[in-house]
Amino acid sequence: MTDGPLPTLDEIEQIARDTVAGFPAPFRAAARAVAIHVADWPDAQMLRELDIDDARELTGLYEGIPLTEKSFFDQPTGPDRVWLFREPILDEWRTRGDVDLAELVAHVTVHEFAHHFGWSDDDIATIDRWWE
């Protein structure tokens, strides 16, 4: 998906859902409890909490308690969420110029779901050398 009009929020969400549908069965089952939200930009509160000054730096965000830390004592306030941010993703895609947009959306989706499964950014970076 690189030619033609830029994808809508719904189209990016569909790419994310298709990505999750392709997870191996045990991961796919655990991912079903996570809500996927797509917005053009992260909100100001998210940026403040993460100490991020430039909204273009945040392409996705996992909000919730990782599976490795969940306890039956936890009182859920809602589903865990994976956020994807359309404009920062498009900005990265334009800047890189060497990756298909659908692949980038899938990459961000997998990265955020990895946090749900309990992986840290360092764990993910060890396996996924995306920036190289």
The verdict on residue 59 lying in a domain is yes
CB 65 within 8 A of CB 74: yes
Q: Is the CB of residue 42 less than 8 Å from the CB of residue 61? A: yes
Number of domains comprising the chain: 1
- Residue 130, in any domain of the structure: no
Res 123 pLDDT > 90: no
| Cβ neighbours, 10 Å, residue 131 | 6
Question: Per the domain annotation, does 4 fall within a domain?
Answer: no
Structural domain contains residue 17: yes
Q: What is the pLDDT of residue 93?
A: 94
Confidence of residue 21 (pLDDT cuts 50, 70, 90): very high
Q: For the whole model, what pTM was predicted?
A: 0.85
Question: Which pLDDT value is given to residue 76?
Answer: 64
Q: Which CATH number do you get for residue 57?
A: 3.30.2010.20
* Domain of 30, in residue numbers: 9-67+78-123
